[in-house]
Each structure stands twice: as structure tokens, then as C-alpha cells.
């Protein structure tokens, strides 16, 4: 291997790139990582972590206004300070950037600050320097997509800017019906803004279980969020310090800001990929095989830039598989089945496995177990919220194919059950499991009759 400067040159120090780099180094590879921005990628700097901190911040209002009084507490008028939250969050992100730097250093991975481009299948350039390498790993992630055909789209912001607003907007329009749109709608609403969320289809969160989608929509409406389906802006205009959106039904909406969360696109342009023969899909995704190898044998790609399942833990898993395959003599293929996920809405939605409609397409007979209830914690409060839990079961094998939940702590609860679903456990094994009482999660092991 000594004919190259490095055994592995990673482009992009996000979750996937850093994990692959550290693990490869632990297997004895000489590894460098180039990053043009802060260490940690989207997850740490402009995604999962700051988003979840905002979710926590925004959830306190409901607790204070609806929950605590019934339990005997009296609190004064709640006041929220966006700047203080932003400063605290930025400090935490800076700390995490430092943690990532420390992790790379202690693993013996060289961190190169700058934008990397591919010169040939074994050479990477950063600034004026060139590095030769046996393998190149593209882990550059994705960026928000904005539909450029909408007149006035330059007045819109994306999630990138939403994190860094100088003040909390009083009125917000959110466009889109995916994870980011739903999460930011709930965040801004929880922090006290008036929010209208517009989605072009009949019901948001396409691809999630239909009962879960409908239940979440209902819960969000109960909380006072203005959800409007079948609507999109056809034009956006600046008015004063705010915006006006003219919609496809010719109605208009005014707000202090309009947030587009209409998907993300792989970051693969202007880095020499196509020039050296790496095949890219129409949306720019690096096309890879089951071992994350591109059409150029020395170039691999993982994470959002490959547009497989765009989730941080999946990118990390892909990085682990790759490092084992290349440097540990242990070929591993990333497994994208039964990946659990959560939308950190309020209430959150957790899911693993097949939706009811996916299961109906793949299995001749399925049983559905469904329960909707008011959680114990809410009984002494004015909260009207209800929790939904649902199991999708293959009647022939008794295997639980899918598990879905909308309600407090759905992400935490579904993460636990995801092990059982991934392991292929049956409904009888769920039934044989004793519940922990009183919890909401026990409902998943006490659902007796299919609906």
C-alpha cells in the first residue's frame, strides 16, 4: 500500500465519513479526511442535533400551559428568549465540533481543512496540495432543494437558515410534507409562532403508515396548527420585512418568513466525480453497488450523497460496513431493511417495518392491531392529545411486519421495539412479553384482538 500517501481519503467529515475514517484507522489504514466546513456534517451542525434541541425547547410551552397545572403547579406567564436558546445551542455545537476533532486525532486520522476535488481515481486535491490514495470515500452529504421555477423563491429560507434567524418569526409559512417540514412546523408552533403548513398532496408524510399520518395531522390541528393540504405557492413576493405567498388556488398568505422543506439533493457537483468516470443519477446521487462502490473501482460513497436511506445512523452503518470490507478482511453489505425512524413532531411519530399498505401488497393476509388512547400523564391535564399504536402482522407466519406509533416518546419506544421487529419476532412472542405497568409502551404487548 505504500505507493500511496494514504490508504483511504475521505471527503466529508459528517457522521458517515468520520465513522468510516476512525474505524479504518483502527484497522491499521492510513487515513485523511477533508472537510470544507465544520466537523460533524449536517447532523451536528444543521440537522438532527440542533433540530432536536429546538424540539425540546418548543415542547416546554405545552408542558407549562397544559400539563403542569393539573398536577398542582402554578407557574408565571412563560416567556421565551430565542437569542438565549440560539447562543446555548451554538455553544453545544461548538463543543461537538471539538469532540469530532478529538475523535479524529485520537484515531490517528489526519484532518485537512478545505474543499477536496478528485483529480483521478487515486488522487485528491485540496487547495494547492495533492494527495494520492488507494481508495477515495465520498461522504459529502446533501443540501436543501428549492424549486427554482417558483417566482420569488429567493425570498424563501431553508432549514439551513431557519437555525440562524436573528429573531423568532411571529408568523411562518412552511412548505412541504416530509420530515423537515413537519418538524419545523411543530417547532415554530411550540415556540409561539402562528404557523401554516402547506403540502401539495392530500395528506402529508407520504410513505409513512396512513393511520399514523392521519392521526398526527389530527393531533397537530388540535394544537392549533393550520395544516392545509393540496396547496402550494405559485409565487412569492416580498412585503415589508416579510413575505406574501400567492397559492395555486389564488388565495394569499402573509408571514414573516416562508420556509421551504421540499427535500434535499446529494452534494456531488463541482468535485470532479463525473470527470473521472463516476456514474451519477439524475439527481446527482453517486450510484453505488451493494458494497457502496461507485462505477470507478477505487471510489466509494456512503450517506446522503448516495440517496439510499438518508438518515444519520444509516450513513454510520454504511461507513462501518465499508471500513470492515476494505481494511478488516470482513466484507459487509449495508442492510437497509427494517430501519426504524422517527419524525420529531409534537407529538412524535415512530415507525419501523412495513406500513399497512406495503404489507397488503406483499402478503396475502395481514392482521392489524390498533389502539388509540389518552396517556396516563395527560389525565390530570387539559391536554386533549391521544396516542396511536399499531401493529401490522402477517397472518400466515405471525411475524410482526410493522410497528407504528404517534405519541409522547414515540422515538424512544420504537427504538426498543425495533430490535424485536428486526429479529423477526412473532405476535405470539409480543403477547408472551410482560408489560411494564403503567407505561404507554406496554400497549404494544397487550393488543389482543385484531381490528
Burial (CB count within 10 angstroms: exposed 0-12, middle 13-18, buried 19+), residue 177: buried
Q: What sections of 32-174 are H helices per DSSP?
A: 41-46, 48-62, 82-107, 159-162
Q: Which is nearer to ligand NDP, 52 or 363 (CB)?
A: 52
CB of 370 closer than 8 Å to CB of 390:
yes
Query: Should residue 242 be labelled a site residue for ligand NDP when binding is judged by CB under 6 A?
Result: no
Question: Least separation, in Å, of the C-beta of 331 and ligand NDP?
Answer: 27
Active site residue 437: yes
Three-class DSSP category at 27:
coil
Binding residue (CB under 6 A) for ligand NDP from 213, 244, 264, 390: 264
| The three three-digit cell numbers of residue 156, written as one number | 424563501
Of residues 339-378, those binding ligand NDP (CB under 6 A): 341-344
Interface segment toward ligand NDP; rule CB under 6 A; list 82-90, 100-108, 185-193, 261-269:
261-269
| Window 167 to 196, contacts with ligand NDP (CB under 6 A) | 175-181, 183
* Contact criterion met (CB below 8 Å) for 193 and 169: yes
Cβ-closest residue to ligand NDP?
A: 178
Contact present, 85 and 52 (Cβ < 8 Å): no
Q: Which of 31, 138, 220, 311 binds ligand NDP (CB under 6 A)?
A: 311
Binding residue for ligand NDP, selected from 206, 330, 333, 395, defined by CB under 6 A: 206
Site membership for ligand NDP, residue 310 (CB under 6 A): yes
Q: Mark the segment that binds ligand NDP (CB under 6 A) among 60-68, 78-86, 161-169, 197-205.
A: 197-205
Contacts of 403 (CB under 8 A, 6+ apart): 351, 352, 353, 390, 391, 392, 414, 417, 418, 421, 444
Q: How far apart are CB 418 and ligand NDP at their closest, in Å?
A: 13
CB of 126 to ligand NDP, least distance (A): 28
258 versus 400: smaller Cβ distance to ligand NDP: 258
Among positions 110, 111, 200, 370, the unique one binding ligand NDP when judged by CB under 6 A: 200
Return d(Cα 440, Cα 36) in angstroms, integer.
Answer: 45
Using the structure block, give the residue that is written with the C-alpha cell 412548505.
175
Applying CB under 6 A, what is the total number of residues that bind ligand NDP?
Answer: 24
Taking the complex as a whole, the smallest distance from the CB of residue 437 to ligand NDP amounts, in Å, to 30
Residue from 391, 371, 375 nearest 440 by CA = 375
**Binding to ligand NDP, residues 211-230 (CB under 6 A):** none
Q: Of 445, 299, 429, 382, whose CA–CA distance to 68 is shortest?
A: 382
Taking the complex as a whole, the smallest distance from the CB of residue 176 to ligand NDP amounts, in Å, to 4
390: number of Cβ within 10 Å:
25
For 189, the 3-state DSSP assignment is: helix
Q: How many residues does the chain have?
A: 451
**In whole angstroms, what is the distance from residue 124 CA to residue 6 CA?**
11
Please select the residue that binds ligand NDP; options are 23, 138, 225, 261, rule is CB under 6 A: 261
Q: How far is the CB of 280 from ligand NDP (least distance, A)?
A: 19
User: Does 315 contact ligand NDP by CB under 6 A?
Assistant: no
* 162 binding ligand NDP? (CB under 6 A): no
Residues 90-149 that bind ligand NDP (CB under 6 A): 147
As given in the structure block, the three cell numbers for residue 9 are 481519503
Footprint of ligand NDP on this chain (CB under 6 A)? 147, 175-181, 183, 199-201, 206, 232, 261-264, 310-311, 341-344
Residues serving a catalytic function are 437
Amino acid at each position: 500500500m505504500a505507493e500511496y500517501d494514504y490508504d483511504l481519503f475521505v471527503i466529508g467529515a459528517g457522521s458517515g465519513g468520520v465513522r468510516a475514517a476512525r474505524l479504518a484507522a483502527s484497522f491499521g489504514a492510513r487515513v485523511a479526511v477533508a472537510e470544507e466546513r465544520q466537523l460533524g456534517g449536517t447532523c451536528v451542525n444543521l440537522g438532527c442535533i440542533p433540530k432536536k434541541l429546538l424540539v425540546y425547547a418548543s415542547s416546554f410551552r405545552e408542558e407549562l400551559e397544559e400539563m403542569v397545572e393539573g398536577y398542582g403547579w402554578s407557574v408565571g406567564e412563560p416567556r421565551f428568549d430565542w437569542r438565549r436558546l440560539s447562543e446555548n445551542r451554538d455553544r453545544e455545537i461548538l463543543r461537538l465540533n471539538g469532540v469530532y476533532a478529538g475523535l479524529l486525532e485520537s484515531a490517528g486520522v489526519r484532518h485537512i481543512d478545505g474543499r477536496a476535488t478528485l483529480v483521478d481515481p487515486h488522487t485528491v486535491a485540496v487547495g494547492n496540495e495533492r494527495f494520492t490514495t488507494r481508495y477515495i470515500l465520498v461522504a459529502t452529504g446533501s443540501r436543501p432543494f428549492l424549486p427554482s421555477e417558483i417566482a420569488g423563491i429567493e425570498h424563501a429560507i431553508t432549514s439551513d437558515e431557519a437555525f440562524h434567524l436573528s429573531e423568532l418569526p411571529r408568523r411562518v409559512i412552511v412548505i412541504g410534507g416530509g420530515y423537515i417540514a413537519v418538524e419545523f412546523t411543530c417547532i415554530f408552533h411550540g415556540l409561539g409562532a402562528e404557523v401554516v403548513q402547506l403540502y401539495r398532496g392530500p395528506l402529508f408524510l407520504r410513505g409513512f403508515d396512513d393511520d399514523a399520518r392521519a392521526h398526527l395531522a389530527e393531533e397537530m390541528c388540535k394544537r392549533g396548527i393550520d395544516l392545509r393540504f393540496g396547496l402550494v405557492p405559485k409565487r412569492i413576493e416580498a412585503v415589508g420585512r416579510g413575505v406574501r405567498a400567492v397559492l395555486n388556488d389564488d388565495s394569499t398568505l402573509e408571514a414573516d418568513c416562508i420556509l421551504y422543506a421540499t427535500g434535499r439533493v446529494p452534494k456531488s457537483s463541482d468535485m470532479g466525480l463525473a470527470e473521472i468516470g463516476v456514474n451519477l443519477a439524475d439527481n446527482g446521487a453517486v450510484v453505488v453497488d451493494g458494497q457502496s462502490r461507485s462505477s470507478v473501482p477505487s471510489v466509494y460513497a456512503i450517506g446522503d450523497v448516495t440517496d439510499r436511506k438518508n438518515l444519520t445512523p444509516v450513513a454510520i452503518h454504511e461507513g462501518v460496513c465499508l471500513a470492515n470490507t476494505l481494511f478488516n478482511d470482513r466484507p459487509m453489505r449495508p442492510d437497509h431493511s427494517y430501519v426504524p425512524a422517527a419524525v420529531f413532531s409534537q407529538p412524535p411519530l415512530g415507525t419501523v417495518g412495513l406500513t399497512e399498505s406495503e404489507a397488503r401488497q406483499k402478503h396475502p393476509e395481514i392482521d392489524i392491531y390498533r389502539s388509540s388512547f389518552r396517556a396516563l400523564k395527560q389525565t390530570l391535564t387539559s391536554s386533549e392529545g391521544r396516542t396511536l399504536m399499531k401493529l401490522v402482522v402477517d397472518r400466515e407466519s405471525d411475524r410482526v411486519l410493522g410497528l407504528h406509533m404517534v405519541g409522547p416518546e414515540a422515538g424512544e419506544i420504537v427504538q426498543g421495539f425495533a430490535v424485536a421487529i428486526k429479529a423477526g419476532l412473532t405476535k405470539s412472542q409480543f403477547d408472551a412479553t410482560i408489560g411494564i405497568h403503567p407505561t404507554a409502551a406496554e400497549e404494544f404487548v397487550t393488543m389482543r384482538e385484531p381490528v
